[in-house]
Structure 1
Amino acid sequence: MKNAVQHWSGGKDSALCLYHARRNPQLRVTHLLTTLNEHYQRVAMHGVRPELLHAQAARIGLPLQPLWLPEMPSMAEYEQRMAASLHSLQQQADVTVSVFGDLHLQDLRAYREQQLTQQGLEAAFPIWHKPAAELLAEFFDLGFRAVVVCTNEQHLDASFCGRELDRDFLRDLPPGVDACGENGEYHSFVYDAPYFSRPIPVVRSEKVRRVYQPAGNATSTDKDDCYRSQPDPFAAGFWYCDLLLGPDADPV
């Protein structure tokens, strides 16, 4: 059995990926690794507060390894910090495998595999090429529950942000929008899962619009990284629903 780290965004893909990784008799997931934005103090691109991330880790029963990134990371800086985090896990927990919830982006998979090979690590993609309808049906049938916390307004208007990720949400998606949000149409936060010790009580707070544009010398590596704030009205606009821990949440 090989020790593995789950690259964890807190959203539906990484949550379902972890479900399958935990059922793989050849893997033992020992840690969660999440990229966060130092400037905004939020999960990269998802906009989720760190305390919600820690609530997920506590309910899963796995230690969380945060990877803090500056507001405008260069590719070199991203790779350096990621390599340092993974090296730490190699040394501390004998991790030899990195697990990702990617679905279809072949160039992203190739990039990950190339970077990990240089570090003496393997990559695993438990839900790779799983059809969207099958993946989402499994997500709902297993009892996962999630809130849509970010939408790209080029694909979805603000009304979709903050909604429950359920079958009604999928039915309302406009034509051309990937049901799994594989092209960055939306991101989610999972507040209940079959391997959670208990659900996370969440409260929907304000919606905020932010405008981003890809950094000039960067190639996106995670659909979450390498973005920087810009006042340019023609850059990509995103809506975020701020989630708060409910008043009856356990301290984390």
Structure 2
Amino acid sequence: MGKKFIMSYSCGKDSTLALYRMIQQGHKPSALLVTVDKKAGRSWFHGVPNELLDEVSKALDIPLMIVESSGTDYEATFKEALIRAKENLGIDSCVYGDIDLEGHREWCTDRCEEAGIEAVFPLWQEGREDLVYEFIDSGFKTVIKNVNLQWLGEEFLGKTLTREVVHDIKATGSDACGENGEYHSFVYDGPLFKNPIDFEAAGIVKTETHGYLDIRGK
């Protein structure tokens, strides 16, 4: 029997690869759980606007479960969403795209234990660079959306991740996978998608520490 799971989905490359592997192994996704900044109307961390989250859900043909949070209630709202998914969708597990950060795994596992479900980490302890290349070679396409300016310049924003771009990222001293927060991405096409996500760049926003590619639906 395969797992009936909810996917903790950021729209980034790691959670997409984890989702892909689970589906290939015969498990069934019941929903995409996406945490959204209540004030901004965008996903936490990756900053994907709600309108594009809907398009992603349609292209993947997986229902969307939006979890709105102000930030201070992030943990509580996430746990409540898992409990609702268990009660209403009959899920037995939540899948995460984390690779090797113990603090992240502990947080995710604790939320699942509170909800009475299993936490699953398909990419856990695998080589970061190997995972990036597996993602690219599998045919997925992702655009670099956020960068930590301490590591990567704003010229990386908007680039589609290729083996050549990964080489350029490594040349800066950054992790190929961006696992230390050097960059985040938005996956817009690939083998799981019925159609590419049609989006456009709406400019670059910079703070003292980060650069963000603002994207919106066409």
TM-score normalised to structure 1 length: 0.82
AA matched with 1:148 = I
Determine the structure 1 residue equivalent to 2:28. Answer: 28
Determine the structure 2 residue equivalent to 1:242. Answer: 214
**Runs of 4+ deviating beyond 6 Å:** none
Determine the structure 2 residue equivalent to 1:216. Answer: none
Cα distance, 1:210 vs. partner?
A: 3.0
CA RMSD of aligned residues (A): 1.4
Cα distance, 1:51 vs. partner?
A: 1.3
AA matched with 2:43 = V
* Distance across 2 between alignment mates of 1:123 and 1:139: 22
Determine the structure 2 residue equivalent to 1:229. Answer: none
* Conserved? CA contact 2:79–2:114, under 8 Å: no
* Conserved? CA contact 2:37–2:44, under 8 Å: yes
Q: Which has the larger radius of gyration?
A: 1
Determine the structure 2 residue equivalent to 1:63. Answer: 63
* Conserved? CA contact 1:146–1:189, under 8 Å: yes
Q: Where does 1:58-137 land on structure 2 (aligned, <5 Å)? A: 58-70=58-70, 73-74=71-72, 77-137=73-133
* Conserved? CA contact 1:48–1:149, under 8 Å: no
Any unmatched runs of 5+ in structure 2? none
* Distance across 2 between alignment mates of 1:170 and 1:2: 33
Percent of residue pairs identical: 34
* Distance across 2 between alignment mates of 1:189 and 1:92: 29
Cα distance, 1:175 vs. partner?
A: 3.9
AA matched with 1:40 = A
* Distance across 2 between alignment mates of 1:185 and 1:133: 14
Name the SS of the counterpart of 2:116 in structure 1.
coil
Cα distance, 1:179 vs. partner?
A: 0.6
AA matched with 1:104 = D
Name the SS of the counterpart of 1:188 in structure 2.
strand
Higher helix share: 2
Q: Which moved more, 1:124-133 or 1:186-195?
A: 124-133
* Distance across 2 between alignment mates of 1:91 and 1:115: 15
AA matched with 1:205 = A
1:166 to 162, 165, 182: 162
* Distance across 1 between alignment mates of 2:25 and 2:138: 17
- Can you list the C-alpha shifts for 1:20-51, whole angstroms capped at 9, x where unaligned? 011223x3211000111112111112122111
